[in-house]
Structure 1
Amino acid sequence: MPIIVFLVVLLIVFLSTIRIVPEACAMVVERLGSFHSVWRPGVHILIPFMDRIAKRINLKEQVADFPPQPVITKDNVTMRIDSVVFFVITDPKLYAYGVENPIAAIENLTATTLRNIIGSMDLDTTLTSRDEINTQMRSLLDVATDPWGIKVNRVELKNILPPDAIREAMEKQMKAEREKRESITLAEAKKQSAVLTAEGNKQAAILNAEADKQKTILAAEAQKEKEIREAEGKAQAILDVQRAEAEGIRLLREARADEAVLRIRALEAFTKVSNGRSTKIIIPSDLQNMSGLVSALRESSSPFDGKEELPSSVQNTTEGNTVATYRDEIRDEG
């Protein structure tokens, strides 16, 4: 029975010496009061009454959110800025023995570093240089926390809170700037509208001028085509008359007209002459007497009707006569 009790006690003591370190964690082990080793993830045996786990350390990336810190800018404006620090523990031994309270140390170091950086900037630069401030703080904190086994990965400024008076002045300034941009935008819009309207009027005038020009050209071409067709019609009519006269002459020649027929045609020509308003009449020189000519003209002319006398001016031809002239024309046409 005592042996069984001894074995149970021995088993309990053995099991109590077994330690399992989870992933992303580390344990700092001291032996007889001094640093012995750092246990990484896995199974480890702790020697009873000799070894002691001094510190359990989380190796994951951690976030430290610090409250707003009062800072003064270069132009003596007091504001409050809160920051967030992202860090990871790279050396558990240094983290365990480097500083008493690492998080408080990082907070104080962040506040002093932030005051130094903001003190070299004015208000406007501070409000527009977040990235620059973040970069400088990360670089300075990373160097300062190396002896503590801490690596600072990133530093971000959450809020920059200027005084109420400064904030109201900034709001008024932004309002005035927005109104200025609005006025400029409206002026640009009116200018653009005027330019586009003028351009549209210009294009409309050009199109109207082109339309009038095209209309004038078409009207001129139509008038030209009309005159050409009228001239062609007149020429065709004259040609048809000449062809008809030539056909008549040809028929006379084929009919072998004698001297009497030619005289009759000559008298018909004189009849046409007497129908006009001419004051001069050309008569053949071989008529038997003037009374015969007068009688023939009075019988064939309708305007006189035997009531009016012939014109007083009568010109006799000196060479040839109308019949001979008409005969020559017939020969020329043949």
Structure 2
Amino acid sequence: MNIILLILIIIILIIIALKTLQILRPYEKGVVERLGKYNRTVESGLNIIIPFIETLRKVDLREQVVDVPPQEVITKDNTVVIVDCVIFYEVIDAFNAVYNVVNFYQAITKLAQTNLRNIIGDLELDQTLTSREMINAELREVLDVATDKWGTKVVRVEIQRIEPPKDIVEAMSKQMKAERFKRATILESEGYKESKIKKAEGDKQSTILAAEAEAEAIKQVANADKYKEIAVAEGKAKATEITYNAIHTGNPTNDLIAIKYLEALEKVADGNATKIFLPTEVSGILGSVGGIAELFKEDSKGVKILEGSSKEMQIDESNEKTE
């Protein structure tokens, strides 16, 4: 009997010790009530609580998530969309979180649904689908202000889904395909235009380079012909000068000049022409040569004819030009 009583006493002492010594984790705070009245807020670690007189209510300070259920919302252009979101919050004041709201989860869920209807109701469907960041920011601001007295802070709000009706989705899909086809056609035409422009510029540049090359070639050929003609002219001038000097240095006689003159006439007559007209002064030159003058005779018309040649040479008394 004594053993049973001793065991009971030990059990009671253990229970009292557990009630007295309360350990809070680093992410927790505790609200201590004494006889049903708020007494103090305790921090993490080992805390002593008077058993059966004081009670401890733990508050989690970690960031938590509230999943707002999907709901139907009507946009400004009378389109029904299904929207749901998630809310991330954390407790910053344990006292207000315990005493200012009964069911925080339900309260913030209803508050989020109500404000979500208000925000999306002011937007058209296209704005609703493309303005998620704006909706998130505006809803977070509204919820943060509303939950401030609950000792909590709304960290962020994320829209999970905005689902329009099926017929709207099909129409949007067709519109998207048409828009993409339009962009593809525009890009293709711009690419074709760009390729044609590049090709035309390339052909133009090629033509210009070919023309410049041809002009440079013509210039080089012209310079070469010019140099050739100058060289030939200089050679002829040099040869003429040498011949002239040689003739004057040799002091030729009239007989020699007459013979050279006849040799030149023979070369002149060695052509396709059948008649060659010479001035009358030729007879004076030819008369200076004794034996040669007898080769000429005068016809009835007063024209002197050179005999012994295969071609007929007539001397015009009127000094006509050679035909």
CA displacement at 1:89 relative to structure 2: 0.4
CA displacement at 1:312 relative to structure 2: 7.6
1:20 maps onto 2:52 in alignment: no
List aligned pairs for 1:24-173, cutoff 5 A: 24-53=27-56, 55-173=57-175
Contact 2:97–2:150 (8 Å) recurs in 1: yes
3-state SS of the aligned residue for 1:157? Answer: strand
Find the aligned partners of 1:80 and 1:283 in 2 and give their Cα distance: 132
Count of residue pairs the alignment pairs up = 290
3-state SS of the aligned residue for 1:141? Answer: helix
Which residue of the partner structure matches residue 232 of structure 1? 234
Contact 2:83–2:161 (8 Å) recurs in 1: yes
Q: Which runs of 5+ in 2 are unaligned?
A: 267-277, 296-305, 318-323
Distance of aligned partners of 1:274 and 1:68 in 2 relative to their CA distance in 1, 3 Å threshold? same
1:211 maps onto 2:213 in alignment: yes
Q: For each residue in 1:197-229, what CA deviation from the matched residue of structure 2 results, as whole angstroms up to 9, or x when unmatched? A: 222222222222222222222222121111111
Distance of aligned partners of 1:294 and 1:16 in 2 relative to their CA distance in 1, 3 Å threshold? same
Distance of aligned partners of 1:28 and 1:297 in 2 relative to their CA distance in 1, 3 Å threshold? same
3-state SS of the aligned residue for 1:109? Answer: helix
CA displacement at 1:148 relative to structure 2: 1.0
3-state SS of the aligned residue for 1:281? Answer: helix
CA displacement at 1:240 relative to structure 2: 2.0
Which residue of the partner structure matches residue 295 of structure 1? 291
Find the aligned partners of 1:82 and 1:208 in 2 and give their Cα distance: 71
CA displacement at 1:194 relative to structure 2: 2.1
Find the aligned partners of 1:284 and 1:208 in 2 and give their Cα distance: 64
The amino acid across from 1:77 in the alignment is T
Q: Identity over the aligned pairs, expressed in percent?
A: 40
Which residue of the partner structure matches residue 180 of structure 1? 182
CA displacement at 1:246 relative to structure 2: 4.1
| Between 189-198 and 17-26, the greater mean CA deviation after superposition | 189-198
Which residue of the partner structure matches residue 274 of structure 1? 262
Find the aligned partners of 1:30 and 1:143 in 2 and give their Cα distance: 28
Normalised to the residue count of structure 1, the TM-score between the two structures is: 0.77
Find the aligned partners of 2:23 and 2:172 in 1 and give their Cα distance: 58
Normalised to the residue count of structure 2, the TM-score between the two structures is: 0.80
Distance of aligned partners of 1:306 and 1:87 in 2 relative to their CA distance in 1, 3 Å threshold? closer
| Between 27-36 and 266-275, the greater mean CA deviation after superposition | 266-275
Find the aligned partners of 2:159 and 2:245 in 1 and give their Cα distance: 114
Find the aligned partners of 2:134 and 2:104 in 1 and give their Cα distance: 25
More strand, by proportion? 2
Contact 2:76–2:124 (8 Å) recurs in 1: yes
Find the aligned partners of 1:33 and 1:272 in 2 and give their Cα distance: 159
The amino acid across from 1:91 in the alignment is D
Contact 2:19–2:50 (8 Å) recurs in 1: no
Contact 1:298–1:305 (8 Å) recurs in 2: no
